[in-house]
A and B are shown apart, each in its own frame.
Chain A
């Protein structure tokens, strides 16, 4: 009896130790993976800098067959398409979130919210397909362009992909604002819109900010859709007018060229450098988002304590 109890205790301790170790390893593995990815990217991209001058990379011509490896067209392409998408997605997404959270009657809200989330789950290749067959011809005809496969087309579709993220996160944030705030503002004679704009939205601002950051993050990293609809011409984007020419993004370049490049060649290493740039950009966006959220949470804690 006594020895059995001791055995049980030991067994339980061992089990506890094993389970805890597994959980611990799973937790750390995320950090390890990010670190390994970063190391791998560094290792594969560093040879670039042995063979190419920084100003060769920082130039305006991308033509790998002739050994022109200027990444500026790709960088500017990604930038303008992402900004275009953000410009459409943020106002539209926030207004949708406000409508769902604040204005729509309950029954409509219960239909809209899941629908928006379904929209977020549409595979990007399906959106790209719609872009090629529906949106691109429309853009070409309505705007009298030589081709509908433009940065603008990509930006519109990317906005479509970012909107569900923005709506979903922002709606949760708005919904979390205590109802009493609304009552208080209305009781002071605020109209519904004044209540939303000057009380509810500011009260939910950290969540709303996170929503836009996540939406933009999604747009930067998106590959398939932009590869299908932006025309993939590595031209320099130099202003708003560039929205209506064919452009190419960093992601599309890697996806399109990685399959055909000779392993270990300069071209191969440059593609990894582009990957490194992308990695750093999305890391920055994510860290900014968490920093903003963290600061907001600290402030709330201070106020509540």
Chain B
């Protein structure tokens, strides 16, 4: 179905130090330039999987086995630089958390950390990334205002822009629209459709309906295991597994 995987996950298991097994033997190929949607009831390991893909879980006490190949490198290799990995694999969280700076500074911050000092480059990045996340028209006249003054939907698109400014290859989104109203949600979803042309998008959608709307590849996760995956259309019209069918028809979850 997809013959150009960007990320190959091989027998990945993640356990937290309190004994919970968050992921068990997950194998999955994530295609390039497509939206991969991880869905399923809470506690299924969606967030853990996303956070593992750019090694944000490193800060917690976790035990990880298996491998995650990004292009041709295993991201758990000893000589992988975590900082540059996180620049290649950006993440957007459920709660939009603008850093306590201005709108402009929120976007240039990551670039400045990476050592970019040229004013023109930074300005280009601000405009470009805000346009990609469909926020530019709403904020172009007040880039120096505090980012906290934006509405929730704007903050979330700012957080997406902030990640895009780093020109990542993979964009991870953990329930990016869970706190948003339907209009903002629609804006974020439509910007994702544009973004997937340039990026590999992995998303944990906020709802089954959202999964159905945006997924190119839909992946159903239950208690740390992949139950079933397939193209969005196939999976929602003709699920192979009973659990998947029960979940998408609303019988549990």
CB within 8 Å of B: which residues of A? 178, 180-181, 183-191, 194, 198-199, 202-203, 303-304
Q: B85-93, B135-143, B197-205: which one contacts chain A?
A: B85-93
* A184 B146 Cβ-Cβ under 8 A: no
Contact of A188 among B84, B113, B148 (CB under 8 A): B113
Q: How distant is the Cα of A194 from the Cα of B99 in the complex, in angstroms?
A: 13
Which listed residue (A181, A189, A198) contacts B97, Cβ 8 A? A181
- The answer to whether B56 touches A186, judged by C-beta atoms less than 8 angstroms apart, is yes
Chain A residues near B148 (CB, 8 Å)? 303-304
Complex A-B: 28 CB contacts under 8 Å: A180-B95, A181-B100, A183-B56, A183-B93, A184-B93, A184-B97, A185-B99, A187-B91, A187-B93, A188-B86, A188-B90, A188-B110, A188-B113, A188-B162, A189-B83, A189-B86, A189-B87, A189-B110, A190-B109, A190-B113, A191-B83, A191-B113, A194-B113, A202-B100, A203-B100, A303-B148, A303-B149, A304-B148
The answer for the CA separation of A189 and B54 in the assembled complex, in Å, is: 10
Contact B91 A189 (CB under 8 A): no
B49 in the interface, Cβ–Cβ < 8 Å? no
Pair A303/B146 contact, Cβ less than 8 Å: yes
Bound-state CA distance A178–B159 (Å) is 16
Which one of B56, B87, B99 contacts A199 once the chains associate, using CB atoms below 8 Å?
B99
How many residues of B sit at the interface, in one of the four size bands? Answer: 20 to 34
B166–A189 touching, CB < 8 Å:
yes
Given contacts A199-B99, A303-B146, A303-B148, whether A188 and B109 have CB atoms under 8 Å apart is: yes
- Contact (Cβ within 8 A) B99 A180: no
Specify which chain A residues have a CB less than 8 angstroms from the CB of B84 in the assembled complex: 189
Contact across chains for A183 and B97 when beta carbons are under 8 A apart: yes
Contact of A181 among B56, B83, B99 (CB under 8 A): B99
Instruction: Tell yes or no: B23 within 8 A of A by CB.
Output: no
Structural contact, B86 and A187, CB atoms closer than 8 A: yes
- The interface residues of chain B lying within 8 Å CB-to-CB of A186 are 56, 59, 86
| Bound complex: CA A183 to CA B54 (Å) | 11
- Do the beta carbons of A180 and B100 come within 8 Å of each other? no
- The minimal Cβ–Cβ distance linking B161 to chain A, given in whole angstroms, is 12
Residues of B within 8 A of A189 (CB): 83-84, 86-87, 110, 113-114, 166
Roughly how many angstroms separate A181 CA and B98 CA in the complex, as a whole number?
8
* Residues in A neighbouring B110, C-beta threshold 8 A: 188-190
Q: B38 near A: Cβ within 8 Å?
A: no
Chain B contacts for A178, CB-based, 8 A: 97
Q: Is residue B134 contacting chain A, with contact meaning CB distance below 8 A?
A: no
Q: Write the chain B residue with the least CB distance to A106.
A: B61
CB-CB contacts of B2-32 with A at 8 A, as 1s and 0s?
0000000000000000000000000000000
Q: For the complex, what is the distance from the CA of A203 to the CA of B148, rounded to whole Å?
A: 12
Tell me, in angstroms, the Cα distance from A198 to B112 when the chains sit together: 12
B163 interfacial by beta-carbon distance below 8 Å: yes
Q: Which 8 A-B pairs have the closest CB atoms?
A: A188-B110, A180-B97, A303-B148, A189-B87, A187-B91, A184-B97, A189-B86, A203-B100
Query: In the assembly, what is the distance between CA of A66 and CA of B198, in Å?
Result: 88
**Measured between alpha carbons, how far is A190 from B87 in the docked complex, in Å?**
9
Knowing that A188-B163, A189-B83 touch, tell me 18 more A-B residue pairs with CB under 8 angstroms: A183-B56, A183-B93, A183-B97, A184-B99, A184-B159, A185-B99, A185-B109, A186-B59, A186-B86, A188-B90, A188-B109, A188-B110, A188-B113, A189-B114, A191-B83, A194-B113, A303-B148, A303-B149
Which residues of chain A come closer than 8 Å to B146, judged between CB atoms?
Answer: 303
Task: Report Cα–Cα, A187/B54, bound state, in Å.
Answer: 8
Residue of A nearest to B88 (CB): A189
Is the beta-carbon distance between B56 and A187 smaller than 8 angstroms? yes
Across the interface, do A180 and B109 meet the contact criterion of CB distance under 8 Å? no
Residue of B nearest to A199 (CB): B99
Known: A184-B159, A191-B83. A199 touches B100 (CB 8 A): yes
CA distance A302 to B87 in the complex (A): 33
Give the distance in Å from the alpha carbon of A304 to the alpha carbon of B159 in the complex: 18
Residue of A nearest to B89 (CB): A187
